[in-house]
Structure 1
């Protein structure tokens, strides 16, 4: 008994006899010997070479078949980018693959994921088609990045986007902000030389200049905080309260100078520092307010005494001038009469004389006196 089968130009056949592979069949018509249990698996040359439940290596012993296949072996630590007719087709993971090299030309680009960074040689158009096999890390324009492979330092990264393959080596990027930053010390309780405990609010601005040095510190900002705190305690502890209140700017200058001496050790540049507030205990504040009130009262009394003295001296000078000058004396009288007239609502006249005569009499009596 025979069975007829036809293989077209876009196909190839795999002849099996009693379940064992015999050879590849080119396009054409064949008669199968059914009594010998011959079967044919017809495969499209446009599809990958794959026979279910059979190992690929069984077929690669056939030299004629092997000549029409493109075979690629992918190791556990590799990805392979598969191109068909110079167009990206797929990403291959660990395993062995075969493709018909009849209608299309197949090329393969092997990537060793033990070096996880995706190099510029990989076309950007490939990445959207391989989602899930890579991840991206970004370094902003105001940052610097530091690259680690499995927690081992590799190099510093400039601003930009970086892509890494998922694999046995984990890539991580730590970023350092290079913008000006501010550190606030709020409510620092410090004792002065005269044993007065106060609370100090201090501020410091800085900018990281060497990310590699800064990354050597665990909890970098906390380290700067403690350094600043110790310097403040050291300096304020040598001052009495009155000196501290008078020399606030000197404190800032001293701290900034000391911090600048440490710049190289921390990889930063300290830009400015200053005392924001000095908060005194309630009883000390009451005492200072009492002292201030007494000082202001004394100043006010002193000013009043000076004004009274100046006023008396002015009156004395005026009196001397009036004694020496009759015309001035008369003008002064007229000035007083004018002021009196401004404040009078009604004028009552006695006798038969008129107002002008009475005023003349009043002025004449002053002259005679």
Structure 2
């Protein structure tokens, strides 16, 4: 059996299943019939020869002079640098890497402290599996509550944080501190006069006590929704429909006051509560439209009668003045004559008398 070994390769010679030695660049002859077996390997990266344990290979001086032995302590990660560049994460308790054509170096990262050292470069994280660490991102307007082994240990502001998962379980509860809007839609409520109406409300609030909220309340939005719903039903049920329509703003003020009195138990700060719509049943809406039309017609009739009275009173005053003053009467007469003449295209005069006399006769004066 002829064996050719290149310059960058080596060979592991086995005889009858036992390791004998290493061979390097050159041509060799080993008879297979005598139990020889040669495994060729490139001398780069990790040693891939697995047919014998490393403990056996470590007894070979030729092997040890060409490799870097790696032993990773408990609670640490090994970062393998090849040609001064990070290339792999080493987690094995023991491994060997060729150190012939490419210089190898191993550096360690301690995972026993939960908080990741800031000296760990971000480009190393792409090599480390996420099962070893946890990345936490807190956006502006948010706050993070950090729990280690289910014990609150820190409150985190906006930023990016990294924690090792070797020594403790790490959990972060992120709470949004920004203003939120809560819609309470289609609430069907009976008024005091047994009229069913539907209300659409809107409320705005923000988280005021994140720590107590996480520890004591589950589903704060649903609880606020239910509480506002109950308060609305309690308030609206006391009044008749006409009273509710008249005091829409008062209802909003009452709701806001009641929720501010109770907001501490929900760990929130209520900003506003308002009624968007009051939806009436179809029959009630038709009746109210009829009443509205009747009211507007009555108002229009009143205005018309008022104007007629004012016009009649003005005519009466004018008649009294003309009766007391003959000159004013003549001026009014001439004014009427002028208006008649402006509407006439041609005037034909027949009979005796002057034009003025005929006009007087025509007007009956």
TM range, smaller chain: 0.7 to 0.9
**1:252 to partner: Cα distance:** 1.0
TM-score normalised according to structure 1 size: 0.75
Shift in alpha-carbon separation, 1:98–1:337, aligned structure 2, 3 A: same
State the Cα deviation string for residues 173-198 of structure 1 (Å, max 9, x = none). 55443333221111101122232221
Deviating more after overlay: 276-285 vs 299-308: 299-308
SS at match of 1:52: coil
Q: Quote the RMSD (CA, aligned, Å).
A: 4.6
1:107 matched to 2:106:
yes
Matches within 5 A, 1:124-163: 124-130=122-128, 136=135, 138-147=137-146, 155-162=154-161
Say which SS state the counterpart of residue 123 (structure 2) adopts.
helix
CA distance change for structure 1 residues 349 and 213 in 2, over 3 Å: closer, same or farther?
farther
Distance 1:283 1:38 in 2: 103
| Equivalent-residue separation in structure 2 for 1:209 and 1:148 (angstroms) | 20
| 1:50–1:291 distance in 2 versus 1, CA, 3 Å | closer
What is the CA–CA distance in structure 2 between the aligned matches of 1:43 and 1:288, rounded to whole Å?
95
Inter-partner Cα distance in structure 2 for 1:114 and 1:190: 58
Number of aligned residues: 361
* Gaps in structure 2 of 5+ consecutive residues: none
Structure 1, unmatched stretches of 5+, are none
User: What is the alpha-carbon distance in structure 2 between the residues aligned to residue 261 and residue 86 of structure 1?
Assistant: 65
Judge conservation of contact 2:78–2:106 (CA < 8 Å) in 1. Answer: no
216-225 vs 165-174, greater mean Cα deviation: 165-174
Which residue is 1:191 aligned to? Answer: 190
State the partner residue of 1:329. Answer: 329
Deviations along 1:52-81, whole A, 9 cap, x unmatched?
222223445679977886443447865422
Residues 149-183 of structure 1: CA distance to partner in whole angstroms, max 9, x if unpaired?
67765544333344567889775655443333221
Deviation at 1:342, TM superposition (A): 3.5
SS at match of 2:270: strand
Matches within 5 A, 1:278-357: 278-344=278-344, 347-353=347-353, 355-357=355-357
The aligned counterpart of 2:263 is: 263
- The farther-off stretch of 135-144 and 253-262 is 135-144
Match of 1:177 in 2: 176
Distance 1:330 1:93 in 2: 124
Superposed CA deviations along residues 247-283 of structure 1, whole A, max 9, x for unmatched, are 1111111111222233333333322221111111223
Cα pair distance change 1:240/1:11, threshold 3 Å: same
CA distance in 2, matches of 1:47, 1:308: 110
Taking the aligned partners of 2:127 and 2:272, their CA distance within structure 1 comes to 51
Secondary structure, counterpart of 2:188 in structure 1: strand
TM score, norm. by length of structure 2: 0.75
